[in-house]
Amino acid sequence: MRCRMFGREVASPIVVGSGPASFDADAMIALAKAGAGAVVTKTINLEAAQNPTRHMVQAGAGTLINCEKWSDFPMGRWLDTELPKAVDAGVPVIASVGHTKQDAAACVERIEDLGCLAIELVSYDESTVLPMLEETRRRVSLPIIVKLSPNSPDLVAHARRCVDAGADALTACDSMGPALLVDIETGAPVLGGSDGRGWLSGAQILPFTLEKVCSLRQGLAGIDVPIIGLGGVTTCQAAIQMAMAGATYIGVCSAAILKGPAFVTKLNLDVDAWLSSHGHESLDEICGEVLRHLPQKEASYHMTWDEKTCTRCGRCVRSCPYGARSIDEEGVMRVDAARCRSCGLCVSLCRSLGLA
Ligand SMILES: Cc1cc2nc3c(=O)[nH]c(=O)nc-3n(C[C@H](O)[C@H](O)[C@H](O)COP(=O)(O)O)c2cc1C
């Protein structure tokens, strides 16, 4: 699904976030061919990163924990080789630059001259973001995206300061943590690095990112700033939720690492199919949909049960903490109204149950 991004028509609203899937020009070209609307480079810094061994491991389905630093290419290689190659091949490149004013000063003009689509500024320390942003704004007219940290003590206030200082868009958010995994055979951390800690990304962080994106939309009401919703999108359903929470574009990183560029093609097709099956022509039409439902009013619900689709598996009976569910000898699901607290758990577990 083609759309506009920073004044350019691009192949889709999918933005591949900074990470190993975009570690060099060839990887970025493959992602663009697969249908990415834009590809963010691995973060460019004055110094090439040195990563510990075991810096990226799976932490449950579709989820990663990593202690990978920024790009292990020196800045010169990006400016002289990788960026020109990717831009010449037609990739809409967002150059990720971190983590200080000095790093930005050393490369942002070259990035603009090379014809990149935008610059994304990222830092581990929130206090360095504004100086980096002001320095970049002074030097280039290219769109500037600020990547926000989910650990920000006041995300909305920080985002507002960034917009006031000239940020054209926001990426929400980065991976979450610090986090730790333990190898139960050795007792050692699963990740390398001196402290064994890393950052969580992928499927398991989706609800956190959705909340951040929604809070940004609520807190920045009236400010028309594009948000790249990045964190936890590994399925079409997650991408649709991300848009409904308020994201303008759909960011993906871990899923593109784990499944390769084909994931981008599939996600694009699946999102397209979902939108048309729900009567929508573009992602814009559902952007921020959840805000229309907030604040929610307390409602009394009537639980429904579809005897045709119920398999009598008994899951609703086992999982009800209040013992309010039972299946009688005729296979009819019974609810003990005196015990039921309308918590909603059974309805979320089974498609034969609903709320009216
Ligand atoms: C192995 C790995 C390396 C990453 N490296 C960077 C990086 O260099 N710069 C950056 O801004 N974000 C980096 N990220 C964070 C991602 O861009 C993204 O914010 C995060 O993974 C959440 O998105 P996801 O849940 O779709 O993976 C990295 C993520 C992973 C998994």
Contact 35 CB / ligand 1 (< 6 Å): no
Last residue of a domain, one of 259, 293, 327: 293
Same domain for 261 and 155: yes
Largest separation between any pair of C-alpha atoms in the chain = 76
Ligand 1 mean position, distance from CA 39 (Å): 12
**Quick one: 335 exposed, middle or buried, by C-beta within 10 A (0-12, 13-18, 19+)?**
middle
> DSSP 3-state assignment of 277?
helix
User: How big is the CA angle at 253 (ends 248 and 257), to the nearest 5 degrees?
Assistant: 150
Same domain for 81 and 35: yes
Query: How would you label 112-143 residue by residue, b for 16+ Cβ within 10 Å and e otherwise?
Result: bebebbbbbbbbeebebbbebbebbbebbebb
Ligand 1 mean position, distance from CA 20 (Å): 8
Total domains in the chain come to 2
Last residue of a domain, one of 239, 265, 293: 293
> DSSP 3-state assignment of 41?
coil
What are the tokens at 232? 């936890």
Contact 350 CB / ligand 1 (< 6 Å): no
Give residue 31's domain range: 3-293
- CATH number for 340: 3.30.70.20
161 vs 49: CA distance, rounded Å = 29
Same domain for 340 and 256: no
Q: For residue 235, is it within any domain? A: yes
What are the tokens at 345? 């758990």
Question: Which protein residue's CA is at the shortest distance from atom 5 of ligand 1?
Answer: 19
pLDDT in tens, the chain (356 residues): 899 999 999 999 999 999 999 999 999 999 999 999 999 999 999 999 999 999 999 999 999 999 999 999 999 999 999 999 999 999 999 999 999 999 999 999 999 999 999 999 999 888 999 999 999 999 999 999 999 999 999 999 999 999 999 999 999 999 999 999 999 999 999 999 999 999 999 999 999 999 999 999 999 999 999 999 999 999 999 999 999 999 999 999 999 999 999 999 999 999 999 999 999 999 999 999 999 999 998 877 788 899 999 999 999 999 999 999 999 999 999 999 999 998 999 999 999 998 88
Same domain for 351 and 203: no
Contact 288 CB / ligand 1 (< 6 Å): no
Same domain for 329 and 228: no
Closest among 151, 83, 85 to 119, alpha carbons compared: 83
For residue 297, give the DSSP letter: P
- CATH number for 192: 3.20.20.70
